[in-house]
Amino acid sequence: MTIAAEARAGHQFSQGWLTRLFDYKPFLVFICLLPALGLLLVFLSYPLGLGVWLAFTDTRIGRAGYFIGFENFQSLWHDPVFITSVWNTLLYTGVATIGKFGLGLWLALLLNNHLPFKSLLRALILVPWIVPTVLSAIAFWWIYDPQFSIISYILVDVLGWRETYIDFLGAPWPARFSLIAANIWRGIPFVAISLLAGLQTISPALYEAAMLDGANAWQRFRHVTLPMLMPILAVVLTFSVLFTFTDFQLVYAITRGGPINSTHLMATLAFQRGIPGGQLGEGAAIAVAMIPFLVMATLFSYFALARRKWQQGEDND
């Protein structure tokens, strides 16, 4: 009897200890997050850490490298192609983001009204976003073709406004703006649908109160719509900047950085130097050089989202 009682007491103690452990909230959170943390460690942290390490080595494809410190970054500082890629990336990101937000906000405001076939229009707007990037790039590659461009055909053969076809991708500046136009076309749906979702959350009573106070359409947009959209604007802007700054497929499929390396972005140049060029260390250094810009975009989102407290009538920290 004594042995059975001791065994039963030990089992109850063990069961009570496990129960208390799983009732402990931090331990339960850790157990639930453990699979996700493992996946992030294997598929995100390890490649990121390896890329940062390669940036400080002279590793090439087929040959292990040695630690060389900041030599890759010093050589990039004097590399005119890299400097051009940095300016191209900033220009590409800035102009494309402004274009996507201007047209996306206009489209969201338009779709927020009562229109016939509004659901169908919302679905059609998503087509540029859901079409594979390479397929879009092939379509734009045909649109920009120096001989078979539909734009040149309309301007020359239909309207007669020009005598020669336009070589969109044959010169640096036309090629840059052609890529920006293609990126704007692909990015408008993401901005428009996201801002439309934000517009749907604004109470109509706010607009009615503003109209009773005599506010016109511009004043209602400035003092009601824009402040209420600030939180989602910050998030959408941040993601748009991140997607545009790290864009690779569209640019590489249309121009591959040409003509004469004039349309390279930092992402495409990193790939060209690292994979086809075989210089893994230099390519990794170009990719690592993108990190400060991405961190600044993330910090912008963090500080802009602090306006949510102001929106809810609280003081900002």
Q: pLDDT-derived band of residue 10, with 50, 70 and 90 as boundaries?
A: low
pTM, whole model, 2 decimals?
0.82
- pLDDT reported for residue 310: 46
Contact 269, 88 (CB under 8 A): no
Scan for tokens 């063990």, then name that residue.
Answer: 14
4 has a pLDDT exceeding 80: no
Considering only residues 87 and 120, tell me which one the structure prediction assigns the higher pLDDT.
Answer: 87
12 has a pLDDT exceeding 70: no
Q: pLDDT-derived band of residue 305, with 50, 70 and 90 as boundaries?
A: low
Contact 21, 27 (CB under 8 A): yes
How many other CB atoms are found less than 10 A from the CB of residue 244? 24
Residues 6+ apart with CB under 8 A from 265: 85, 88, 89, 92, 247, 248, 251
| Averaged pLDDT of the chain | 84
Q: Which regions of 185-316 does DSSP assign to beta strands (E)?
A: none
CA quadruple 245, 246, 249, 251: dihedral positive or negative?
Answer: positive
d(CA 193, CA 103): 12
Q: pLDDT-derived band of residue 2, with 50, 70 and 90 as boundaries?
A: low
34-54 mean pLDDT:
85
Considering only residues 286 and 208, tell me which one the structure prediction assigns the higher pLDDT.
Answer: 286
d(CA 118, CA 112): 9
Q: What are the domain boundaries of the chain?
A: 1-55, 73-311
Q: Which CATH superfamily is domain 73-311 in?
A: MetI-like (1.10.3720.10)
